[in-house]
Amino acid sequence: MTALVNCIDSGSQTFIDYINQAADIIKKGGVVAFPTETVYGLGASAYNGDAVRKIFIAKNRPVDNPLIIHIDDPDKLGECSTAPPPMTWALANAFWPGPLTIIVNKAPEIAPEATGRLNTAAVRCPDNHIARALINAAGVPIAAPSANSSGRPSPTSAAHVLTDLDGKIDMIIDGGECSGGIESTIIDLTAENPVILRPGLITAKQIENVLGRPVAFSKGHTAGEPKAPGLKYPHYAPLAPLTIVDGSPVETAAYINGAAEASGLPDESIGILATDETAGLYRRGVVISAGSSKDPASVARSLYGVLRRFDVLGVAVIYSEAFHGPGLESSIMNRLEKAAGYHIVTLG
Ligand code: TXA
Ligand code: MG
């Protein structure tokens, strides 16, 4: 049985009771899904290898794919890491609590299961009061990947978690919809030069401004062993095949309208992920706007929810517009490209 508890109103009488119940589950070696500002996480005590193993089983996650260790206070970095380099503190001061995950050398107390037996640990202090209250009440760092079944879009609501993990975990804390919508940026500080392993809600530019030096991106999906072990596995996939169409708004709509026509499928079997600005250009299909192209944060917030909505609607194919721009657009595209299995039609 999975208990679903409502903590949306932090002023409610039951809020503290529920947080304490969830913390007890963690202390006793159970697993709890909880909201963060990015996506929902599925947490267990990072000090308890048996508890951490339950996360991998519930998600059907490959055991070599390490988890992110969540702390409730930046000063507790020392509980997860030995001798973090000075750059760590510069980034922690600038971005914690918040959606930045920092790879550092692992402290011996962290269970090897949590880090996929690597000597390094991914650490982050989330900017969500429920997440931090839970970690604080549990009294241990919480190891937590996203609370989806492996390979599925990350969950941005308690309902998404329930769809994937009902009956497989002890509790879900409903904290409403996640404000960020895509996962944290991951930066590796264990090598000589900092490297972004996964783009996310904090941009490379923001990080470069703090460090005063350029940061490189690792090429997660190209040949060779990716630095973040999880990046070699399929990700974020909706049930229907997804194609990204990359062109001007008018060209893109013309291509998708034509493909929809040629498919012979009824409108209700064709999902189209568009924006507020472009939704009116489509003549066929179920058109859902992920947000405004002028506000990429709105698109990030809705992206996984729209992909999961197409699952519920049972569409047979999905088309998505591409996103380009100076801010979060590249992180949005990173997720979309994976969700599409890199199936992209480039126009023009
Ligand atoms: O926003 C987020 O980061 C969310 C919330 C719940 O905090 N968590 C999340 O976790 O996205 P997950 O497990 O879905 O993604 C973690 C990624 C994986 O690609 C994993 O391989 C990588 O972090 N990772 C974890 N530990 C690592 C390490 N020591 N070295 C390199 N990559 C690591
Ligand atoms: Mg994940």
| CA 159 – CA 167 distance, rounded (Å) | 13
Digit-coded pLDDT (tens) for 125-139: 999 999 999 999 999
Closest CA to 143 of 250, 220, 68, 230: 68
| CA 281 – CA 283 distance, rounded (Å) | 7
Residues with CB under 6 A from ligand 1: 36, 38-39, 41, 65-68, 99, 101, 103, 115, 118, 120-122, 124, 126, 144-146, 183-184, 186, 197, 227-231
Bridge partners of residue 124, in order along the sequence: 70
| CA 273 – CA 322 distance, rounded (Å) | 9
Q: What pLDDT does residue 220 have? A: 59
Ligand nearest to the CA of 68: 1
Pocket test for ligand 1, best of 161, 186, 202 (most atoms within 8 A of CB): 186
Q: What is the β-pairing status of strands 195-198 and 185-188? A: antiparallel
Bridge partners of residue 146, in order along the sequence: 41
Q: What pLDDT does residue 228 have? A: 77
Helix (H) / strand (E) element for 296: namely: helix 296-313
For residue 276, the CA-to-ligand 2 centroid distance in Å is: 28
For residues 143 and 121, the answer to whether their CB atoms sit within 8 Å is: no
The CB density around residue 71, as the number of other CB atoms within 10 Å, is: 26
Mean of the per-residue pLDDT values of the chain: 96
Q: In this structure, what are the phi and psi dihedrals at residue 84, rounded to the nearest 5 degrees?
A: -65, 140
Atom of ligand 1 minimally distant from the CA of 231? 19
- DSSP3 helix / strand / coil % (the chain, rounded to 5): 35, 20, 45
Rg of the chain on CA atoms, in Å: 20
Q: What pLDDT does residue 233 have? A: 73
pLDDT exceeds cutoff 60 at 223: no
Digit-coded pLDDT (tens) for 281-329: 999 999 999 999 999 999 999 999 999 999 999 999 999 999 999 999 9
pLDDT exceeds cutoff 60 at 19: yes
Digit-coded pLDDT (tens) for 241-278: 999 999 999 999 999 999 999 999 999 999 999 999 99
Which residue's alpha carbon is nearest to atom 21 within ligand 1? 230
Atom of ligand 1 minimally distant from the CA of 106? 29
| CA 210 – CA 237 distance, rounded (Å) | 34
Placement of tokens 């190209």 in the chain:
222
pLDDT band at 219 (very low <50, low <70, confident <90, very high): confident
For residues 55 and 116, the answer to whether their CB atoms sit within 8 Å is: no
pLDDT exceeds cutoff 70 at 224: no
**This prediction's pTM:** 0.96
| CA 116 – CA 229 distance, rounded (Å) | 9
Using a 10 angstrom Cβ sphere, with 0-12 exposed, 13-18 middle and 19 or more buried, the burial of residue 346 is exposed
